Amino acid sequence: MNRRNWLACALAYGLGSAAQAAPAVQEHPEWARFFTEAGIDGSMLVVDARTAEATTHVVHPARAQRRYSPASTFKIPHSLFALDAGILRDEFQVIPWDGVQRSTAAWNQDQNLRSAMRNSTVWVYERFARELGPERETAYLQKLGYGNAAISGDQPFWVEGDLALSSFEQIAFLRRLHANSLPFQVAHQRLVKDVMINAAGADWILRAKTGWTGSIGWWVGWIEWPSGPVFFALNMDTPHRLGDLAKRQAITHRILRTLDALPATP
């Protein structure tokens, strides 16, 4: 199997139950310089659905196919689980702070869904996990077909444990969320998409979520245009830890602008 066909098959596998045809794949070795200039290793996968036949763009495709811990990108499906289970009513429900002082100041107060997503408040989702319990967590993951659907290992399982998925699988999940085709109430999917908004302009909206395990960083999401969405999943090493985190968005912005998928000043 040649490299192009391997990539098409990889994407078709990643789409899973989304039941979408594998789009054409274009490799972009020239994008590697964005990672090199930032002094880190990583991959970038983009699915541009602004035309009738979506086009996949990728740099470092083998890494894009490899599974990694989702870290806080898991807050997207985890929010859907909490809403579906009735643990969370809506974006206004107050989630009381437990009074434990944590290193991130924004976490040391009551939260709601919007602030928990914006601040990536770990303790909120740890509470959701306790209330859901392992059986329901596993059932939701399997129902969704989310990565390897594993909740074993250290906790939280989406950061320290065995849960893992690839960039191809990240985008497959996001495409289904964008289309409201996940096995959850449409109202819940729309709510989660609303709290994912990072930026917007006159004719575009950026919905995205960061993730970080301490060694691996993510930024995943999509930009909505009148002509259609552009999905992206960046995965990269963070050898300088906090010093590397801003590079997730910076590299993604630079790559998306080569496709005219993001304005110069989002």
pLDDT tens digit sequence for 246-257:
999 999 999 999
pLDDT tens for 51-72 read: 988 999 999 999 999 999 999 9
Q: Is the pLDDT of residue 6 over 70?
A: no
CATH number attached to the domain at 3-258: 3.40.710.10
Q: What are the pLDDT digits (tens) for 226-252?
A: 999 999 999 999 999 999 999 999 999
Q: What angle do CA 14, 18, 21 make, to 5 degrees?
A: 75
pLDDT score at 266? 52
Tell how far CA 17 is from the center of its chain. 18
Average pLDDT, the chain: 92
Residue 219, pLDDT > 50, answer: yes
β-strand 24-27 against 42-48: which pairing, if any?
unpaired
Mean pLDDT computed over 38-52: 96
Residue 23 has what pLDDT?
Answer: 54
Annotated catalytic residue, options 43, 69, 72, 120: 72
ω into 77 cis (within 30 of 0): no
The predicted pLDDT at position 264 comes to: 81
72 is catalytic: yes
- pLDDT at residue 185 above 70? yes
Residue ranges of the domains in the chain? 3-258
Output the pLDDT for position 9. 44
170 vs 231: CA distance, rounded Å = 10
Mean pLDDT value of segment 26-51: 97
| Confidence tier at 169 by pLDDT (50, 70, 90) | very high
Segments in the chain forming alpha helices (H): 3-15, 32-38, 61-65, 75-85, 113-118, 122-144, 167-178, 186-195, 246-258
